[in-house]
Amino acid sequence: MKLRERILVMTVLVGVAALGALPAACAGDLLAKLQSIRIEKIDVQDVSVDEVFKQLRATSKELDPDHEGVNFVFKPCANGDTSFRKRNVTISFKRLPLGEVIRYVCLSAGLHYGVEDSAVVVADQSVSLAGMETRFYRVEAGVLDAPRTRKAKPLKGPGEN
């Protein structure tokens, strides 16, 4: 690899690392907010998940010192189905952090959630919330060249030596 190409690759990797640090810090802020905002009482009976999260959004906005609250995003299934938002839950808690309330709501409705840089993403259990990751590997030149790869040996049939 030429020096110019190496510098370009290093610049790109440093830029990606710097960008990767920003969402982690923001996600850390949101995690701290989920622990610091305490819900004094929540008591819902046969209320849809959608309504519960609307209520949590409004309550978090009131209790947040910055009055920003917590954003919630519903991630649809692969076929676009969002019917999980209509599932009903019945919960009753006193003096819990917002993060714990979210966990219990999701648990009772068969959902799961992930905390991203600016929102809590809620989805059905069948939907993956794991992010994709790109990795770079250094390989020697020519490793994938056709002459260097082994050719497959033909399979022998029954009775052949």
Q: Where are the beta strands (DSSP E) in the chain?
A: 38-48, 72-75, 88-97, 111-115, 120-124
139 half-sphere exposure, CB direction, 13 A CA radius: 8
- pLDDT computed for residue 13 by the predictor: 37
pLDDT class for 74, splitting at 50, 70, 90? very high
Topology of domain 3-124, CATH: Phage tail protein beta-alpha-beta fold (3.55.50)
106 contacts: CB under 8 Å, gap ≥ 6: 112, 113, 122
pTM of the model: 0.65
**pLDDT at residue 68 is higher than 70:** yes
